[in-house]
Structure 1
Amino acid sequence: MSHAIPPEKETGRTAQHTVVTGGAGFVGSHLCRTLIESGESVTCVDNLSTGRLKNIADLRENSRFTFLEADIVEPFQVAGDVDCVLHLACPASPVDYFGMPVATLRAGGHGTFHTLELAREKQARFVITSTSEVYGNPLEHPQREEYWGNVNPVGPRACYDESKRFSEAMTMAFRQEYQVDAAIARLFNSYGPDMRGDDGRVVPTFIKQALAGEPLPVMGDGSQTRSLCYVEDTVQGILALARSGETGPVNIGNPQEITVRELAEHVLELTGSTSSVSFVEAHPDDPQRRRPDIAKARRVLGWEPRVPLADGLKRTIASFAEEA
């Protein structure tokens, strides 16, 4: 099954026009590139608070790519017809949302409202990338879309967790009241090239430290688990949902579960680093287990991840090594 959004539409236009908010960020930039390569026109909207122009540098000379520097917490306009709005704009790493809690909440509230209003105005398909963090520190394992979660609404992670939970509620409200063609993708941990080495997420942190010969900081005793999905697979999952008629929420992630300590050892082996592992205090409310149930994505989207962890890590390590 092809996951690319078809370039032709009944309007007769030669290519679809997709708006990607947060398009200069990690997942967003990969999404923009995939859409351009499939023949789409793309408007990338980003305020560059966490996104980077270097992530989209290769796209800016393409006539089908437009970069709009704008903050979605304020109303914004996109010229012309729009077929699809993919809403990714929100600080997504602990370093960012711990440092910008109010901006994170506003991205989920005001930002999602304005982006949905754009989709409503343009009569466009709308997909928001929510997160596995809506499940909190889960009491159900693996996590199914029907699970309501175990979230601390006043803890230090609440700015991100509740921002996304509110975004989901806003999306469903627009679908119910205004009949916006909207859907929710719940992304589990994604990794790959173009991640910032300083964003605080586990894969770039481990790779950066290993390449520098410095200790890898493992939080707690390292027994907590993560399920890591290579960005190429994540993008294909988002596009599969965008081109479907599904509402969601739909989990997009890799069900292969690994402990953080095992991941550290894996990175050390793949980099050939002599770095040690250093155990540090865990963040408050750090989820202890994380693994998606992707039965729904397989059933309704025909999607599942393809890139094995070892291959994805090798590609990511190579990317970091080139930048070092």
Structure 2
Amino acid sequence: MLRNTMLDEDIKTTIKNNEVLLENFRNKSVLITGVTGLIAHVLVLTFLEANKQLDLNISIVGLARNKEKCERLFEDFLNNDDLTFIYQDIKDEIDISKKIDFIFHAAAVTNSKILIQKPIEAFETQVLGNLNILHFAESIGARVLYLSSMEIYGQPFTEEMSTEDKLGFVDPLVVRNGYPEAKRANEFLSKAFSEEKNVFAVNARLAQTFGPGVQSDDSRVFAQFIRSAIKKEDLVLHTDGSSLGNYCYLRDVIEALLLLIIKGNSGEAYNIVNEETNVSIKEMAELVSKEFGNGKVQIVIPKESMGYAPKVALHLSSEKIKSLGWRPTYGLKDMFRRTIISFKE
């Protein structure tokens, strides 16, 4: 059992809900990049628990750049024979001797300040890293799932819900937009390798994802809200809070990724989002403060740029992935409730 009981419960529920789907991974090898990140970390733990419960004999290879952070996150599993690690920059050539059947490519630069302070390096990491992954997948015949982002939608041209074919405007001369531009480039590469090289590659366009498993020092806005709510401090917004957010519970995202790498269509993209969570940042702050905190929200706009994504009014559709049988479970209030419990542990 994991030390985090909420996360342990979620992982076991994922396995119970997906026993038939998980059979596709029996006796296979899985490469997961960016394993010190939230989603990849929990994906590794899910495969380890699936091995334990279902005797699937999945071999898991985790790729990370920061060895110290990786060993800290996985300290309880460093002697597990099912799990090995490779420490390298994703931009460097990948050389793995064992056969790899599935690749979940989650490595990316997501720190907002780095995206504006080191835009060239951040862009290179995304695009050159994905090229490395796709060339490696071509050479060994592996299936690839690329973790993309809702940020590729930019400023929507529609007030209706955004399906996968309704991208908006992204200004390439805004330095912070290196992140969505790299995501767009990488989705193109998935499509190009699928068409030209016959590589199985699917793009998962993730909404903002959280749940048990988020580290207590996470810098993203939902984690900041949680820390303030637990301390009964005012929740502080560094924008006017008018941007519309799209969210999804971490366990639901993990189940979607397992589904897409097996049943998704190569070269295509799928939104992963709980449509019912579409609220403004300010509305989310007010919900968290009222339900879990002291009921007070402040707006304090800093003078320096914090590197936040631009203001946007985006409402993502999940109809495409629902057509494969996926359904989200927890809404925003329960997402925060369960994450707060895990933080307190």
Report the TM-score when normalising by structure 1.
0.89
* Partner residue, 1:211: 230
Residue aligning to 1:314: 337
Asked if 1 retains the 8 angstrom alpha-carbon contact of 2:239 and 2:301, the reply is yes
> Are 1:262 and 2:262 counterparts?
no
Q: Does the alignment pair 1:278 with 2:303?
A: no
- Alignment partner, residue 287 of structure 1: 311
* Match of residue 111 from structure 1: 129
8 Å CA contact 1:24, 1:53 repeated in 2: no
Output the CA distance in 1 between the equivalents of 2:119 and 2:20: 35
Give distance in 1, aligned partners of 2:234 and 2:140: 50
Q: What is the match of residue 251 of structure 1?
A: 271
Q: C-alpha displacement at 1:30, in angstroms?
A: 0.9
- Residue identity opposite 1:267 in structure 2: V
Cα distance in 2 for residues equivalent to 1:138 and 1:93: 24
Change (3 A) 1:284 1:8: closer
CA deviation after TM superposition for structure 1 residue 64, in Å: 0.7
Which whole-Å CA distance do the structure 2 matches of 1:284 and 1:192 have between them? 21
Displacement, 1:18?
Answer: 0.7
Asked whether the 8 Å contact 2:212–2:339 carries over to 1, the reply is yes
Offset at 1:307? Answer: 1.8
CA 199–98 in structure 1, closer or farther in 2 if over 3 Å, else same: farther
Q: 1:7–1:16: 8 Å Cα contact kept in structure 2?
A: no
Q: Distance in 2 between matches of 1:196 and 1:151?
A: 31
- 1-structure distance, mates of 2:286, 2:61: 40
Deviation at residue 51 of structure 1 after TM alignment: 6.3
Query: What is the DSSP-based 3-state SS (H/G/I as helix, E as strand, rest coil) of the residue aligned with 1:152?
Result: coil
1:261 to 1:267, Cα distance in 2 relative to 1, 3 A: same
Partner of 1:68: 86
Aligned counterpart, 2:4: none
Go from structure 1 to structure 2 and tell me whether the alpha carbon gap of 1:106 and 1:5 turns closer, same or farther (over 3 Å shift): farther
Change (3 A) 1:278 1:120: same
How many pairs does the alignment contain? 317
- Secondary structure at 1:163 match in 2: helix
Question: Displacement of 1:112 after TM fit?
Answer: 0.3
Where structure 1 has 5 or more consecutive residues not aligned to the other structure, the ranges are none
1:147-166 deviation per Cα after TM superposition (whole angstroms, max 9, x unaligned): 13211112132121111111
- CA root-mean-square deviation: 2.4
2:59 to 23, 35, 41: 41
- Whichever residue aligns with residue 146 of structure 1, its letter is D
Q: Which residue of 2 aligns with 1:222?
A: 241
**Corresponding letter in the other structure for 2:85:** F
The aligned counterpart of 1:296 is 320
Identical aligned pairs, as a percentage?
27
Q: Would you say 1:2 and 2:18 are equivalent positions?
A: yes
2:102 is aligned to 84
| Structure 1 position 271, deviation (Å) | 2.6
Q: What SS does the aligned partner of 1:173 have?
A: helix
Bigger mean CA offset, 195-204 vs 87-96: 195-204
TM-score norm. by structure 2 comes to 0.84
Equivalent residue runs for 1:95-134 within 5 Å: 95-134=113-152
Q: Distance in 1 between matches of 2:331 and 2:76?
A: 27
Q: Is the 8 A contact 2:206 2:272 kept in 1?
A: yes
Distance 1:119 1:49 in 2: 24
Supply the AA of the counterpart residue of 1:319: S
How far 1:274 moved relative to its partner? Answer: 5.8
Residues 4, 65 of structure 1: CA spacing in aligned structure 2 closer, same or farther, 3 A cutoff? farther
Q: Which has the higher helix share?
A: 2
Deviation at 1:143, TM superposition (A): 1.4
Aligned to 1:28: 40
Report the residue type matching 1:271 in the other structure. F
**Range with greater deviation from structure 2 (217-226 or 153-162):** 217-226
Give the letter for the 2:90 counterpart.
Answer: I
Residues 150/107 of structure 1: CA separation in 2 closer, same or farther (3 Å cut): same
Q: Would the aligned equivalents of 1:217 and 1:280 in 2 still touch at CA under 8 Å?
A: no
* Farther-moved stretch of structure 1 (93-102 vs 237-246): 93-102
